[in-house]
Amino acid sequence: MVEKVRIGLVKLGNIGTSTMLDLMLDERAEREDIDFRVVASGPKITEEDCEGVSEKILDFNPELIIAISPNPSLPGPSKAREILKKSGKPCVIIGDAPGAKIAGELEKAGFGFIFVEADSMLGARREFLDPIEMSLFNADVIKVLSVTGAFRVIFEETDKAIEGTKSGKPYLPKVIVNRDKAVGAAKFENPYARAKAMAAFEIAKKVSGVSAEGCFKVKEREKYIPIVAAAHEMMSAAAKLCDEA
Neighbours of 181 (CB within 10 A): 17
Structural domain boundaries of the chain?
Answer: 5-244
Q: How far is CA 68 from CA 3, 96, 172, in A?
A: 25, 9, 15
Average of pLDDT values for 179-196? 98
At the top level of CATH, which class does the domain 5-244 belong to? alpha beta
Q: How confident is the model at residue 23 (pLDDT cuts 50, 70, 90)?
A: very high
For residue 195, what are the contacts with CB-CB under 8 A and spacing of at least 6?
none
Mean pLDDT value across the chain: 97
Which tens digit of pLDDT belongs to each residue from 124-181?
Answer: 999 999 999 999 999 999 999 999 999 999 999 999 999 999 999 999 999 999 999 9
Encode burial over 218-235: b for 16+ CB neighbours within 10 A, e otherwise: beeeeebbebbbebbebb
Alpha-carbon gap, residue 188 to 190, rounded angstroms: 6
Predicted pLDDT at 109: 97
Predicted pLDDT at 3: 85
Question: Which amino acid, 50?
Answer: C
Which tens digit of pLDDT belongs to each residue from 83-135?
Answer: 999 999 999 999 999 999 999 999 999 999 999 999 999 999 999 999 999 99
Residue 82 has pLDDT above 90, yes or no: yes
Residue 54 has pLDDT above 80, yes or no: yes
Predicted pLDDT at 175: 98
Predicted pLDDT at 113: 98
Residue 214 has pLDDT above 80, yes or no: yes
Which tens digit of pLDDT belongs to each residue from 232-241?
Answer: 999 999 999 9
Residue 1 has pLDDT above 80, yes or no: no
| DSSP 8-state symbol, 30 | -
Alpha-carbon gap, residue 85 to 208, rounded angstroms: 29
Encode burial over 101-129: b for 16+ CB neighbours within 10 A, e otherwise: ebbeebeeeebbbbbbbbbbbbbebeebb
Q: How far is CA 144 from CA 6, 178, 186, 197, 205, in A?
A: 30, 13, 12, 8, 10
Residue 2 has pLDDT above 90, yes or no: no
